[in-house]
Amino acid sequence: MDLKPINLQEKLAKFSNHWSPKIIAQMNDYHFMLVKFQGDFVWHSHADTDEVFITLDGEMSIEFRVGKVDLKAGEMFVVPKGVEHKPFAEKECKIMLVEPGGTVNTGDAGGDMTAEDNVWI
């Protein structure tokens, strides 16, 4: 056991690309990831898992077919499994994601925005 805290700002400083989650911690079979959003992501859903978004810095929104939720720093939201959603952020926004290891960022949609899996920083 490494008795070193995981510092979120230090980890965020290690990457600059958007829409590409980086793993910073594992709890059982779940990953805690940091990601930077800017612009529009793709509509997608995750058939097998809920997904947690915690906004650390900036503002972002998650669009659903029935409306949208706006999240600023210090706010979180749980996207239920199977529910189509499209994250977007006008300006760069820093987020922590929590979901099972191996969850594909683009879910059922796939495509060019699918990030490399299992990248630790």
Q: What's the chain's Rg over C-alpha atoms? A: 14
For a copy of itself, which residue of 47, 66, 111, 112 counts as binding (CB under 8 A)?
A: 66
Site for a copy of itself in 86-115 (CB under 8 A): 98-100
Nearest distance in Å: CB 113, a copy of itself: 23
Q: How far is the CB of 57 from a copy of itself (least distance, A)?
A: 10
Within 10 angstroms of residue 55's Cβ, the number of other Cβ atoms is 21
Give least dist CB 112 to a copy of itself, A. Answer: 27
Question: 13, 23, 37, 18: which is closest to 94 by C-alpha?
Answer: 37
Instruction: Look at the block and give the residue holding tokens 């999240």.
Output: 71
When asked if residue 17 is in the footprint of a copy of itself (CB under 8 A), the reply is no
Out of 7, 90, 108, 117, which residue is the one contacting a copy of itself (CB under 8 A)?
Answer: 7
Residue 88's beta-bridge partner residues? 40, 61
Q: How far is the CB of 34 from a copy of itself (least distance, A)?
A: 11
Cβ burial 71-99 (10 Å sphere, 16+ → b, else e): beeeeebebeeeebbbbebeeebbbbbbb
- Where do contacts with a copy of itself occur on this chain (CB under 8 A)? 1, 3-9, 24-28, 30, 32, 49-52, 64, 66-72, 74-78, 80-81, 83, 98-100
